[in-house]
Amino acid sequence: MTTLEDIRLLVERGFYEEALEKITELPHPVDQVEALGYLALALAGEEGYDWVSEVISDSVYIADKIKEAAEKAIAYAIIGSTLSILDYEEDSVEMFSKALDQAERIKDPITKGRVLSRLAYQLAISGHSETAIELFNTAFDTIIGAEIKYTEKVDGLIRMGELMEKAGDALTAKDAMRFYSMAFDIFDKLHVNQRAAIVEKKMELCRTVMDIGLPEIRAALLEGRNRYALALIERKYRGVMRFLGELEVAMWMKRVNNREYLDVVERAFQESKDIRLTESNVQRIATILTDLGSLRRALEFANMISDVRQKSEALKAIALELGKRREFEEAFKLAEGIPDEEVRGEAITELTAMSGAGETV
């Protein structure tokens, strides 16, 4: 029996005609609509194929024929998501409106909450994060307010958390954080500890690779495929963004105790000649290098920062890192040269506490 994954593989390999023929073999209409969505998005990026609108029309025809409100809502939402990604925003809004109308017809609160969660997911991957979060909250309230068994509520909320996590997986690091945070809260409060730990790790990764955190790069890093992640960065970024990306990968490798991060740092510097840096770039690089323990280089970048407060914070971080290494003489010398008086005082106070009460330079 043909599966949705079979269709996905055919589309990824460019066997579009064969994929289209096999979509009719899928037993569930929602799967057919989803498969047609994969195909439409793939065709839109290819020359010589002018049947994207025809594929979309087929998916709408299938969705219109569905009788059950829950499945019909999900099918319309999938089409709405596909249209939004293809930049047909007006048509997308119409489809999402139809999806919501169908969802409102659902009487069972758990089913309704599940469907609203799926609609929220489709909105999220379409780039409509704010609306998606609002709809996830509506789904949450629907399930929580239902007069049903506690175990049924828990099951509904866990499924919602899984969709929030899945939405995060499909977005850039900056956008993913909000969905991961919501998913973590659900898993943590329901004591789904293994799932909570996984999402927490994904959040840490997002914070680490915030500048270049595309979904495929994060997926590679989570799986330990660091060289592939670096290859993706090399392919997708140039100049300072590539340099930043390589440093962020090195920082993640250090956090997961992969000693090869040192080689990545060296390579990043070897290949970073003649890059143009903005003030925010310099600040970010100084922070990363401090976290990596590359303090000499971090100091060079910190001294390039023009904003006095930001420069002072960067120098303080380096001084405290030196303090952690018990290199207090150098740490205090650096701290005393911090330009901002308040930050300088904080640095000296913290270093004094680290070195022992009453100790002087």
Q: What distance in Å separates the CA atoms of residue 60 and residue 77, rounded to the nearest whole number?
A: 11
The predicted-structure confidence for 69-106, as pLDDT tens digits, reads as follows 999 999 999 999 999 999 999 999 999 999 999 999 99
85, 122 contact by CB (below 8 A): no
**Using only C-alpha atoms, what is the Rg of the chain?**
25
The predicted-structure confidence for 220-236, as pLDDT tens digits, reads as follows 999 999 999 999 999 99
59, 80 contact by CB (below 8 A): no
312, 339 contact by CB (below 8 A): yes
The count of C-alpha atoms lying within 13 angstroms of the C-alpha of 248, restricted to the half-sphere facing its C-beta, is 26
Q: Where are the domains of the chain?
A: 210-276, 288-361
Query: For residue 290, which of 312, 253, 315, 311 has the smallest C-alpha distance?
Result: 315
Q: CA 36: distance to chain centroid?
A: 25
Predicted TM-score (pTM) above 0.75:
yes
Q: Six-digit token pair at 278?
A: 């903005």
Whether the predicted pLDDT of 57 surpasses 50: yes
Q: What distance in Å separates the CA atoms of residue 212 and residue 238, rounded to the nearest whole number?
A: 11
Whether the predicted pLDDT of 174 surpasses 70: yes
Which alpha helices (H) appear in the chain, and where do they start and end? 4-12, 16-23, 29-44, 52-65, 69-85, 89-104, 109-125, 129-144, 150-169, 173-189, 193-208, 215-222, 226-236, 239-255, 261-270, 279-292, 295-302, 308-324, 328-336, 341-355
Could you tell me the pLDDT band of residue 46, with boundaries at 50, 70 and 90? confident
